Structure 1
Amino acid sequence: KKRNLDTLVQEALKKQRVFENKKTTQPNDTPSQNGGKPLENSMKLFYKEFRKVVDKADVILEVLDARDPLGSRCHEVEQSVLSSGTNKKLALLLNKIDLVPRENVEAWLKYLRNEFPTLPIKASTQSQMDNLSQSKLDISSISDELYRSSHCLGAAKLMNLLRNYCRSEGFKMAINVGVVGFPNTGKSSIINSLKRCKSCNVGATPGVTRMMQEVQLDKHIKLLDSPGVVMAQGKSDVAQILRNVVKIDTLPDSIEAVDAIVNRCNKEQLMLHYNIVDYQDVREFLALLAIRLGKLNKGGIPNVNKAARIVLQDWVSGKITYYTHPPEQSDVPAYVSAEIVTTMSKAFDIESIKPQEIQVLDTLKKKSCKHFLVDSVGPIPTLTQEPLSEDELMSDDDGNDENIMIDNDEVEAMDEEADGKIELSNTTII
């Protein structure tokens, strides 16, 4: 096969595409998001399992973290679902509502329902294998003990929503309901809450679910659990920890992540929360906290790294009860049309479950000094297409190589013509 200048240029462009693809999918070469496995393999695994769920499901439930719904939302996932067929329906689940004020949950419900049907829920966090509790008590009998318990709130409302869909669409067979979202948003916990037993593995760290899992809820509904969404672009560990999608033990620099948290939170609230005096920067904050908690190295030197990991654990577990405000103006994505909003709302019949929703919201605490108002980290691009391998990138356009080939004689003629033009331009006319 003849090689000339044009073919060399084409090969260089292909190698550049390979390099840029690696730079995008493997920016930091860190295993923090996927438990030690190469990120490229994790992305391909997610894509494979995600496509299984979307293709098989009749309804997709996207689970959002109520503390930052915008930061835990996946626009690419929503687009992928909507483009998979007109018969597929999408609804949003606002999980962990017990960690934010009631007023904030109501504001987010109003905002998100401009686009898709949205339900508030608190998944069960009980540790036993069977008989997971679901609260169905009247509002007059709900106590602080129940509110602080690990019981599920809103499960009956979600079941009614799915049954409404079955009736409206006239399903005679069982429907498949896919559950998707970022790691650690509570996808598997929601499935266990509905099933009232541990059908799916759950954990406080992200990445527990690796493969699609099927759970038969009843004769009408089958649930499909999926792995957590993988970020498509290289983001720092700070961006990942703020979204609660990273394993703390794998962070190379905990102090940098804590610095982002400290900058987002009100200083006076942090001082009251950890019972420490005023501080100037993150290292002084961690030193004061380490002294108060007794985390000291030899010679009484504060162990700021241990203190940093404690703060990060408090952030992801909900001990730092942060929340975010929805945007003042509803910026509906381009892929969400008025027709889609109307069709989705009609299929699920949200209005029929409003009385149950009010009972659930009445169990939530109102805003207090313990709640930290922070800015949302905002949405982030996620992976919904399988990344191309190096061989696929290198083989791209190979079929067109012959069309761009130039005979060596033609190349020499072009070179001579170019040299002649150069000589002519350098000639001095007297």
Structure 2
Amino acid sequence: MAKPGKPKSKRTPVRLRHRIEKASAAKQRKQRKLAKNNPQWRSRLKKDPGIPNLFPYKDRILYEIEEKNRLKEEDFRRRREEAKTTKAAQSAGQAVPTEDDINKEDALSDLIDDEGMDEDELDDASNPMSALLASARARAAEYEGASGEDEDDEMDEDVSEGDVDVTATSSFPTSGPQPLETSRRAFDKVFKSVLSTSDILLYVLDARDPNGTRSREIERSITAADAGSKRLILILNKIDLVPSPVLKVWLTYLRRYFPTLPLRANNPASNAKTFDHKALTVKATSETLLRALKSYAASKQLKRSTTVGIVGYPNVGKSSVINALTSRLGSSRSSSTACPVGAEAGITTAIREVKLDNKLKLLDSPGIVFPSASTPGPSDETIPNFSKKQLNEANLTLLSALPPSAITDPVPAITLLLHRLSRSQATLNPLLEQYDIPASTLVPSGADGDVTTDFLIQVARKRGRLGKGGVPNLHSAAMGVLMDWRDGRIRGWVDAPEETEGGESGGGREIVKEWAEEFKLEGLWGDDGGDQEEGVDVMKE
């Protein structure tokens, strides 16, 4: 009992507050535990929502962003190369040219151009600028020599991936997909390097248009190299995108010139419209090719390994051929890591060496648009208002030899595609079913009707490729059609030309028969005789 007159304490119990704090701490611990076990954990950083489709000038903004990233990457690589060169020169005890030396040399060059001075006057000992010019030239020569030595060191670096030895043996073209002009300039470097070091050349062709991805000049160069000691095999890739009758005719036609093997290098893309050739599977065709290469290597009994070079147009499946061969070695890792592949052209940017075993070595080369190739498309193909240059670029686009970033105007390629597919109902009907459009779309409306524009408008409306105000985006619709064509969602092919008597230079039945015996192709779909009927039977759908 409180004493009278003493004030009552104002302190209150804190049991309730402690209970609330303990419950809150327990709840937070439980939430943290659940968050760790939650597979849908997300970062606190907000994801960039990107640019809305209805935003005006979206394509231009995306192009500027891509160009800025490309320039930044090139600057980073340049700085890294300069750092490597400087380090190599310092370790070798050589003088490294500084920026002041380079600026002085540029200033001297400007002085010569502006003042009209002759270089002999600057080289004169009485001229006080001659010593400066000589010093700058000496520094520049030392810089170039150190850079060349550094590049040679990089070419000798070996990388071991999985169970297959992989080596990057060269670095041209430098990086990224190459434009047409650059690709043709790099022809002598890449092709001649592969040709000089290879015993067997695998020329990979697209089964949908073999002649479009074939160069007769390349075949003549291979057969004439080293007094005819090189061997050439034509590889008809992507055979699952053409029907059996078309494949049979192409194999018969190509085997009149060189040994030809059908190949399915990898599985098709999602939703691709493929044909089932039964025995011509990825496993069966790749084993056939590997067995033929090993037979040739064993018959030659060389003290070194037999080198097999793989050449062809961009995106015909050269790297996929190597991956298919390495997958037959019983290694699950080698098939996915030997060579990087992708749907776009320009994935392979350097000559890449893959060692299968002690007797066989593969060389993967970047895709090249070979000069002096066959006429784009069928020989009788002409399109009104199309120049030869436009027809060539449109044909390269349909061959997927150009990456999407290098396609400035896809509409001519769509015109060429419609022109080819409209020749037969077997290819026209699947196209109309793919986009659910009526056949009347491909009929010109009026005197000035444009079939391509009408087709792209229908595709843009069906696929939601609309711009501001609901206006159809023809460029986006055309790119979507090209992507469907590249991935095999649109059925289409070029028929083989009619057979004529005789053969062209660089090939013939004698070569086919002689080389087929060396590779032991009898019964392996490579002969052109009586056993060919057996190969025909297995290709029925």
Distance 1:103 1:59 in 2: 29
CA, structure 1 residues 151+264, in 2 after alignment: closer, same or farther (shift >3 Å)?
same
Aligned to 2:453: 283
Give yes or no for contact 1:176–1:222 (8 Å, CA) kept in 2. yes
Secondary structure of the corresponding residue to residue 201 of structure 2 = strand
Unaligned runs of 5+ in 1: 1-33, 128-143, 367-430
Aligned to 1:58: 199
Distance 1:358 1:156 in 2: 20
Q: Deviations over 1:261-303 (max 9, x none)?
A: 1121135443223111221311111111111112222222222
Give yes or no for contact 1:65–1:72 (8 Å, CA) kept in 2. yes
The equivalent position to 2:401 in structure 1, one of 240, 245, 252, is 245
Q: Deviations over 1:357-379 (max 9, x none)?
A: 9998777674xxxxxxxxxxxxx
Give yes or no for contact 1:35–1:247 (8 Å, CA) kept in 2. no
Letter of the 2:518 counterpart: A
Structure 1 residue 41: Cα displacement:
4.2
Distance 1:126 1:320 in 2: 13
CA, structure 1 residues 360+311, in 2 after alignment: closer, same or farther (shift >3 Å)?
farther
Structure 1 residue 67: Cα displacement:
0.9
1:301 aligned onto 2:471: yes
Distance 2:249 2:364 in 1: 28
Distance 1:172 1:68 in 2: 39
CA, structure 1 residues 351+35, in 2 after alignment: closer, same or farther (shift >3 Å)?
same
Structure (1 or 2) with the larger CA radius of gyration = 2
Secondary structure of the corresponding residue to residue 90 of structure 1 = strand
Structure 1 residue 333: Cα displacement:
1.5
Distance 2:536 2:322 in 1: 21
Structure 1 residue 346: Cα displacement:
2.1
Aligned to 2:371: 232
Unaligned runs of 5+ in 2: 1-174, 270-274, 328-334, 373-387, 423-427, 445-450
Aligned to 1:155: 286
Secondary structure of the corresponding residue to residue 216 of structure 1 = strand
Higher relative contact order (CA 8 A, sep 6+): 1
Aligned to 1:343: 514
Structure 1 residue 163: Cα displacement:
1.8
Q: Deviations over 1:291-333 (max 9, x none)?
A: 1112222222222221111111111221112122211114622
Distance 1:220 1:208 in 2: 28
Aligned to 1:329: 499
Letter of the 1:113 counterpart: R
The equivalent position to 1:75 in structure 2, one of 216, 227, 231, is 216
1:204 aligned onto 2:343: yes
Secondary structure of the corresponding residue to residue 350 of structure 1 = coil
Secondary structure of the corresponding residue to residue 98 of structure 1 = helix
Q: Deviations over 1:197-218 (max 9, x none)?
A: 2211212111222221110012
Letter of the 1:168 counterpart: S
Distance 1:36 1:73 in 2: 20
Distance 1:176 1:62 in 2: 14
**Count of residue pairs brought into register by the alignment:** 316
Aligned to 2:225: 84
1:47 aligned onto 2:197: no
Distance 1:173 1:274 in 2: 55
CA, structure 1 residues 283+101, in 2 after alignment: closer, same or farther (shift >3 Å)?
same
Distance 1:359 1:98 in 2: 19
Give yes or no for contact 2:240–2:276 (8 Å, CA) kept in 1. no
Aligned to 1:112: 254
Letter of the 1:190 counterpart: V
CA, structure 1 residues 365+119, in 2 after alignment: closer, same or farther (shift >3 Å)?
same
The equivalent position to 2:414 in structure 1, one of 228, 253, 258, is 258
Structure 1 residue 54: Cα displacement:
0.5
CA, structure 1 residues 329+359, in 2 after alignment: closer, same or farther (shift >3 Å)?
closer
CA, structure 1 residues 75+216, in 2 after alignment: closer, same or farther (shift >3 Å)?
same
Secondary structure of the corresponding residue to residue 244 of structure 1 = coil
Structure 1 residue 124: Cα displacement:
2.0
CA, structure 1 residues 343+365, in 2 after alignment: closer, same or farther (shift >3 Å)?
closer
The equivalent position to 1:274 in structure 2, one of 389, 411, 435, is 435
Letter of the 1:257 counterpart: A
Q: TM-score, normalised by structure 1?
A: 0.66
Give yes or no for contact 1:154–1:360 (8 Å, CA) kept in 2. no
Give yes or no for contact 1:242–1:261 (8 Å, CA) kept in 2. yes
Structure 1 residue 235: Cα displacement:
3.9
Give yes or no for contact 2:340–2:348 (8 Å, CA) kept in 1. yes
Distance 2:344 2:313 in 1: 12
Aligned to 1:396: none
CA, structure 1 residues 99+164, in 2 after alignment: closer, same or farther (shift >3 Å)?
same
Aligned to 2:298: 167
Structure 1 residue 226: Cα displacement:
1.1
CA, structure 1 residues 122+205, in 2 after alignment: closer, same or farther (shift >3 Å)?
same
The equivalent position to 1:213 in structure 2, one of 352, 376, 385, is 352
Secondary structure of the corresponding residue to residue 342 of structure 2 = coil
- Measured on the aligned residues, the alpha-carbon RMSD in Å equals 3.0
Structure 1 residue 171: Cα displacement:
3.4
Distance 1:262 1:95 in 2: 23
CA, structure 1 residues 360+111, in 2 after alignment: closer, same or farther (shift >3 Å)?
closer
The equivalent position to 1:181 in structure 2, one of 312, 326, 331, is 312
Give yes or no for contact 2:231–2:515 (8 Å, CA) kept in 1. yes
Structure 1 residue 170: Cα displacement:
3.2
CA, structure 1 residues 99+40, in 2 after alignment: closer, same or farther (shift >3 Å)?
closer
Distance 2:209 2:520 in 1: 26
The equivalent position to 1:222 in structure 2, one of 339, 361, 368, is 361
Distance 1:269 1:91 in 2: 33
Give yes or no for contact 1:98–1:364 (8 Å, CA) kept in 2. no
CA, structure 1 residues 245+123, in 2 after alignment: closer, same or farther (shift >3 Å)?
same
Secondary structure of the corresponding residue to residue 224 of structure 1 = strand
Aligned to 1:101: 243
Q: Deviations over 1:223-282 (max 9, x none)?
A: 011111224268432121132211223222112211111121135443223111221311
Secondary structure of the corresponding residue to residue 411 of structure 2 = helix
Secondary structure of the corresponding residue to residue 53 of structure 1 = helix
